Structure 1
Amino acid sequence: MSDFRKYISSIGIISAIIIVITAIMAVAVMKKPAVIIISVIAVMIILIALLSASTVITYLTVADRKVPEFLMKINLGLVKAVFPLITVMADISGIDKAGIRRIFIKLNNRYIKSLKFSFDGEDILVLMPHCIQLHSCRFKVTSTIENCARCGLCNISELAQLGDEEGVKIFVATGGTLARKIIVDTRPKAVIAVACERDLTSGVREVRKIPVYGVFNERPNGPCFDTRVNIDDVRNAVRFFKGNL
């Protein structure tokens, strides 16, 4: 099943639940004035219409079709609001949540890419998960990436070099709490976050007023162990925020 089909399946379940709840409420207020019954049905129609419109915009966005910026912004806000419910429905129905989270990050990234930025390198923060470092490495880079020996056995050396070349801040975080602290302490104007689907989705939803561009890590050895990242994806995101792409 494609990521979008997983997403639309969860939306379909939510729509079905709305219809069932509305039907129950309509029966419950059957003896009430007609205006109450009409109001209940009207609310259902509005909710279903919003979900349907959002689904269409989501499809067009992830399919790289032309979508007005304001529609992407409204849709992203709506999806953020109902995303916890979407993932709950996926859990209940046994749908893989990773695919749904990928859709969310694609929506977020596509909206960010529709905007224009021209930040200095020092205003851009690149956040990496600690699992990007080789597990057997004896150099601690969570305090500063400058501790990297630049042996080239993991992506940390390439990221350190990218930081030197582009003048951006590169930090390695051991978890969400440290990542949030780094953002508060460094006060960036833009964040490029590298992580798995779950952590990226959580981070993008939590950070407000700062654009957060998500880059998925690669997990050739399984989750949270000697992960990798496509350096070109990170470099392109940096150059985008600097206005060079």
Structure 2
Amino acid sequence: MKHKKRIGVRVIVGLNKLLFRLIIGMRGLLRIPKPKLQSLFIRANNRLVSRYKVKVPAEELLLLLPHCLQYNECQQKISDDLELCEGCGRCDICQLAQIRKKYQIPAFVVDGGQLALAVANRGNYRAIVAVACEEELEKGILESALPVLGIVNRRPEGPCRNTKVEAELVERAINFFLEGHQCLKESIEVISMRRNNNY
């Protein structure tokens, strides 16, 4: 049964890649702004992943966070241990560290897509919850061999500086994989539809 489920996951990942590559190839023809197409791409991915029942244990679910979520003047640099966060509340890392501790899942703060992929490839993971900008999520979903739920960060100060994410959305995505709900529409629709309000 587990073997069949893993085959199913691989099929979904393959469909994701095919869909996304078609979207990328149509950018010029459709004349749709790149950020909008990337948002559609992430939304389509989340919907497709949500249609397959995949339940993973906590130790096999990876949470990937961008370094730009951390307050840029924080002296406590965090990478593979969110518990190093001192909980000052100046950035969303504080809440995310609490969520990681609550569910006991592996979590890493990374500087970019290549490092995120390296982290994902070196562990025995079966699913990923990733927070990043549209550009990095697009690359990560396309290159990953695992099902990914992507959550776009907000950038009130511009790209790569003091970005934000709603911790509630991250927790919903985590619960989707841990509880193994098929078509968890309410959670996935919120994750997919929430606007990236960068202003």
TM-score, reference length from structure 1: 0.65
* 1:203 is aligned to 2:143: no
Unaligned runs of 5+ in 1: 1-71
Amino acid in the other structure paired with 1:85: G
Distance 1:83 1:242, change over 3 A: same
* 1:107 is aligned to 2:44: yes
Which residue does 1:86 correspond to in 2?
26
SS of the residue corresponding to residue 242 of structure 1 reads helix
Which residue does 2:76 correspond to in 1?
139
Deviation string, structure 1 residues 184-215 (Cα, Å, up to 9, x no partner) = 2222110001011111011100112x101100
Distance 1:237 1:138, change over 3 A: same
User: CA offset at residue 126 of structure 1?
Assistant: 0.6
The structure whose residues are more often helix, as a share, is: 1
User: CA offset at residue 73 of structure 1?
Assistant: 8.0
Which residue does 1:239 correspond to in 2?
175
Which residue does 1:151 correspond to in 2?
88
Unaligned runs of 5+ in 2: 1-11, 182-199
Q: Distance in 1 between matches of 2:13 and 2:174?
A: 22
User: CA offset at residue 97 of structure 1?
Assistant: 0.6
Identical positions, percent: 34
**Alpha carbons 2:62, 2:125 under 8 Å: kept:** yes
User: CA offset at residue 89 of structure 1?
Assistant: 4.1
Q: Distance in 2 between matches of 1:150 and 1:228?
A: 16
Aligned equivalent of 1:218, options 154, 163, 167: 154
* 1:177 is aligned to 2:117: no
**Alpha carbons 2:153, 2:163 under 8 Å: kept:** yes
**Alpha carbons 1:190, 1:211 under 8 Å: kept:** yes
User: CA offset at residue 79 of structure 1?
Assistant: 2.3
Amino acid in the other structure paired with 1:235: E
**Alpha carbons 1:130, 1:174 under 8 Å: kept:** yes
Report which structure shows greater RCO (CA 8 Å, sep ≥6).
2
User: CA offset at residue 229 of structure 1?
Assistant: 0.5
SS of the residue corresponding to residue 25 of structure 2 reads helix
**Alpha carbons 1:116, 1:243 under 8 Å: kept:** no
**Alpha carbons 2:69, 2:91 under 8 Å: kept:** yes
Q: Distance in 2 between matches of 1:143 and 1:164?
A: 13
* 1:164 is aligned to 2:101: yes
Q: Distance in 2 between matches of 1:178 and 1:76?
A: 21
**Alpha carbons 1:145, 1:171 under 8 Å: kept:** yes
User: CA offset at residue 74 of structure 1?
Assistant: 8.3
Which residue does 1:52 correspond to in 2?
none
Amino acid in the other structure paired with 1:168: I
**Alpha carbons 2:82, 2:108 under 8 Å: kept:** yes
* 1:188 is aligned to 2:125: yes
